[in-house]
Amino acid sequence: MAAASDCLFCKIVAGDIPAEVVHVTEHAVAFRDINAQAPTHVLVVPRAHYRNAAELAHGDPEATAELLRVAAAVAEAEGHEDYRLVFNTGESVGQSVFHTHVHLLAGRAMTWPPG
């Protein structure tokens, strides 16, 4: 799927907007969240533009799996055995950027359920 011209994360993937990139693969890019909520807070995004996790899963199952592999690799590289992955889907549950991304959060104790 082509990049969306008005998409923030497409611009980060393309290198047009700077980000602290920590891991890159054929299908995915991982970079630190600008508004970190944990000592490790990394966003893993597909290079291709899909609005949310379900659309990515339908359109590109391999890239979907790669997001999870990259998240695990980044967690391990940063020394975290325990971590949380979050896909927000829809504005009412907190999605603010409509390019699929999984939040990797680690490095502090967390409670359940999330707010």
Instruction: State yes or no: is 41 an active-site residue.
Output: no
Residues 70-89 within binding reach of ligand DGP (CB under 6 A): 88
- Which strands sit side by side in the sheet containing 28-32, from one edge to the other? 21-24, 28-32, 40-46, 102-106, 84-86
What character string, x for contact with ligand DGP (CB under 6 A) and - otherwise, covers 16-55? ---x-----------xxxxx-------x------------
Q: Residue 87 and residue 104: Cα distance in Å, rounded?
A: 9
Q: Residues interacting with ligand DGP, by CB under 6 A?
A: 8, 19, 31-35, 43, 88, 94-97
